[in-house]
Structure 1
Amino acid sequence: MSNLIVSLSPHIHGGDCTKRNMYGVIFALMPALIVSFAYFGIGSVIVCLSSIAACMLTEWVITKYMLHRKPTLDDGSAVITGLLLGMNLPCNLPVGIVILGAVVAIGIGKMTFGGLGCNLFNPALVGRCMLLVSFPVQMTSWPVVGQQMSYTDATTGATPLSLMKKAISSGDASVLDSMPSSLHLLLGNNVNGGAGTIGEVCALALLLGLAFMLWKKIITWHIPVSIILSAFVFASVLHIANPIYADPISVVLTGGMMLGAIFMATDYTTSPMTRRGQLIYGTAIGLLTIVIRNWGAYPEGMSFAILIMNAFTPLINNYCKPKRFGEVLKK
């Protein structure tokens, strides 16, 4: 007769787990990934696959031979890191640089802290920012949508963020006349210049991913909405004060705003736990992004803003604590 083992409560399982959520995020990224493949061609395929493969191999080697633990590649976290890193890179970036970024993302951004659930900073953004600082020329050469015939042969052009930066530095608002329309920014059809990284080419595809994750309750609305809303409000104030600053709709639809707000800032490990903390976190990211974009050295500020607020997440968690079970609120 076999022994009956009764575990501690609760005995009802909701079906939610790390693996399910990770693969849910991957599925939510598919619309943006398909659009980028259609617009950029073979270059985006090579960059994304190289990034995913390098991240998975790096995590497997470190886990097995350095940490002496059983590799856990099946949880999907390494795939997401590789996919998000690839979508934050230009589609003509050399494979060697992509692999270096993946090694840094996993080796330094994730496994140095102990692996999944222990990292302080978003691993994909650690890899991307390292590449941006180390290889600024290669990381800021943007192929034009629809004119990439091969991986090595690409026509580059100025991105909308570059035009915004030029208008501010020159004090000439007429530079913004070359900006794509809001519809083109939403759909990703920026035929007048470079489109940016692989993952920021189509805001509508990213919004579809957001709708799916909200529907499946993979994330909540607090972080993405607070980022986009705070960036929109701050950009509106600047635009009203001086027309050299772009209109707020263009601001939220360009660059890595949507990709960062929906898929990067919402990382479970590096974002606050409470709803109030998430609103503070998201609002600060939106404001920092606009500050860096307008007055920083780089046209884009989303990656740096998220990493800065990742560092503040423990402090936010300490300040915004949930009410203890059974605690009586003071009147």
Structure 2
Amino acid sequence: MEEMYNVSSNPHVRDKMTTSRIMQLVVIALLPATLFGIWNFGFHALLVVLVTVISSVFFEWLYDRLMHKKNTITDFSAVVTGLLLALNMPPQIPLWMPVLGSAFAIIVVKQLFGGLGQNFMNPALAGRCFLMISFAAKMTDFSVSDSYRGVLDTVTGATPLAALKKQGFVAASSIPVKNLFIGNIQGTIGETSALAILIGAVILLAFKVIDLKVPLTYIGSFTVFVIFYMLGSGMGFDGNYLLSHLFGGGLMLGAWFMATDYVTTPITPKGQLIYGCCLGILTAIFRLFGGSAEGVSYAIIFCNLLVPIIEKVTKPVAFGKGGKKA
């Protein structure tokens, strides 16, 4: 035969995009939010980012070494986990806490369940929630920026969402949306600048690392829920209140970078739409009716647990008709 064919096991259709390449692109896409967070919060934020990323890579290497497994730090997944965890940290957090969070994320959530591709929830968010449950005071202690003054001064180290939670609709009119969009506010290192996050999202979309289904469904369903909440509360539509919820907190970072995680997201198109709607509704419920001002992390982790069920009920039906069982 003149033509030689490569005979191999399925799948036979392959893509040139490798796991390490995808992870590298995610790191590049996170750089705008990371650099802005470091510029906004200073040297200690840089230390938090470095310590979290280095410790995540170290724990991955250590586990592989102790378990006599192939070293997997070259796939950059540990770097992505560490960077996402760091961006979800308060800028002045003690440095031992990111190390503890990295150990939990890499060893407990990722490696003990089989490594990359086997984890049942997003490791970075699991690490953050572990720290939130264990050290709530430290994880919700945000430094007040000297360049931002206003309603947030009434709550020491408060984020815009905390101000909304404490003062309700009254606080919305006092929160400058421009600061929320640019990032001159309190918050975790990587969540404050919606602009920087959206620049990163454009990078992910341009290289086809993610698509729009999950992020837009997530943000859209959240928006609809908040609008109904405003109308049902008798305040009428308040654009400032809505934008404060959209650009404040971790919604943008969660929607574009964590809800789109390949391992913990449904693979079926219908499943992704259901997943995004569940995320938006749960985030709104946690924020508006829960005890905490934020709800993105818990919403994503809870929906991660629903992914097997979502995939089961949205699995496409095979063509043709099978025979009856005996």
Which of these residues, 231, 244, 252, is aligned with residue 240 of structure 1? 231
Which of these residues, 251, 256, 261, is aligned with residue 257 of structure 1? 251
User: Does the 8 A contact of 2:173 with 2:241 survive in 1?
Assistant: no
Query: Structure 1 CA distance, aligned partners of 2:228 and 2:75?
Result: 43
Query: Structure 1 CA distance, aligned partners of 2:93 and 2:156?
Result: 12
Give the aligned partner of residue 163 of structure 1. Answer: 163
User: Does the 8 A contact of 2:172 with 2:241 survive in 1?
Assistant: no
Bigger mean CA offset, 241-250 vs 258-267: 241-250
Which of these residues, 216, 221, 229, is aligned with residue 230 of structure 1? 221
Bigger mean CA offset, 315-324 vs 123-132: 315-324
SS at match of 2:131: helix
Give the aligned partner of residue 284 of structure 2. Answer: 290
Query: Structure 1 CA distance, aligned partners of 2:283 and 2:136?
Result: 19
Which of these residues, 148, 171, 175, is aligned with residue 175 of structure 1? 171
Query: Structure 2 CA distance, aligned partners of 1:299 and 1:236?
Result: 17
Does 1:318 find its partner at 2:316?
A: no
Does 1:115 find its partner at 2:115?
A: yes
User: Does the 8 A contact of 1:271 with 1:278 survive in 2?
Assistant: yes
User: Does the 8 A contact of 1:227 with 1:261 survive in 2?
Assistant: yes
Does 1:138 find its partner at 2:141?
A: no
Query: Structure 2 CA distance, aligned partners of 1:6 and 1:270?
Result: 32
Query: Structure 2 CA distance, aligned partners of 1:273 and 1:176?
Result: 38
Query: Structure 1 CA distance, aligned partners of 2:241 and 2:5?
Result: 63
Give the aligned partner of residue 7 of structure 1. Answer: 7
Give the aligned partner of residue 184 of structure 1. Answer: 179
Which of these residues, 155, 176, 187, is aligned with residue 196 of structure 1? 187
Cα offset, 1:147, TM superposition: 6.7
> Over residues 133-171 of structure 1, what are the superposed CA-to-partner deviations in whole Å (9 max), with x where a residue is unaligned?
1111111111123579xxxxxx96221010111124xxx
> Over residues 191-217 of structure 1, what are the superposed CA-to-partner deviations in whole Å (9 max), with x where a residue is unaligned?
xxxx11011110011111111111111
SS at match of 1:145: coil
User: Does the 8 A contact of 1:236 with 1:247 survive in 2?
Assistant: no
User: Does the 8 A contact of 1:39 with 1:146 survive in 2?
Assistant: no
Distance 1:247 1:176, change over 3 A: closer
Distance 1:12 1:125, change over 3 A: closer
Identical aligned residues as a percent: 40
> Over residues 214-235 of structure 1, what are the superposed CA-to-partner deviations in whole Å (9 max), with x where a residue is unaligned?
1111011111101110111111
SS at match of 1:56: helix
User: Does the 8 A contact of 1:40 with 1:146 survive in 2?
Assistant: no
Distance 1:271 1:98, change over 3 A: same
Give the aligned partner of residue 102 of structure 1. Answer: 102
Distance 1:161 1:62, change over 3 A: same
Bigger mean CA offset, 10-19 vs 80-89: 10-19
SS at match of 1:90: coil
Cα offset, 1:10, TM superposition: 7.6
Give the aligned partner of residue 324 of structure 2. Answer: none
List, as ranges, runs of 4+ consecutive aligned residues in structure 1 with deviation greater than 4 Å.
9-13
Give the aligned partner of residue 63 of structure 1. Answer: 64
Give the aligned partner of residue 303 of structure 2. Answer: 309
Bigger mean CA offset, 100-109 vs 159-168: 159-168
Distance 1:161 1:322, change over 3 A: same
SS at match of 1:247: helix
Q: TM-score, normalised by structure 1?
A: 0.88
SS at match of 1:109: helix
Give the aligned partner of residue 27 of structure 1. Answer: 28
Query: Structure 1 CA distance, aligned partners of 2:284 and 2:167?
Result: 15
Which of these residues, 258, 266, 275, is aligned with residue 269 of structure 2? 275
Long gaps (5+) in structure 2: 149-154, 322-326
Q: TM-score, normalised by structure 2?
A: 0.89
Long gaps (5+) in structure 1: 149-154
User: Does the 8 A contact of 2:105 with 2:123 survive in 1?
Assistant: yes
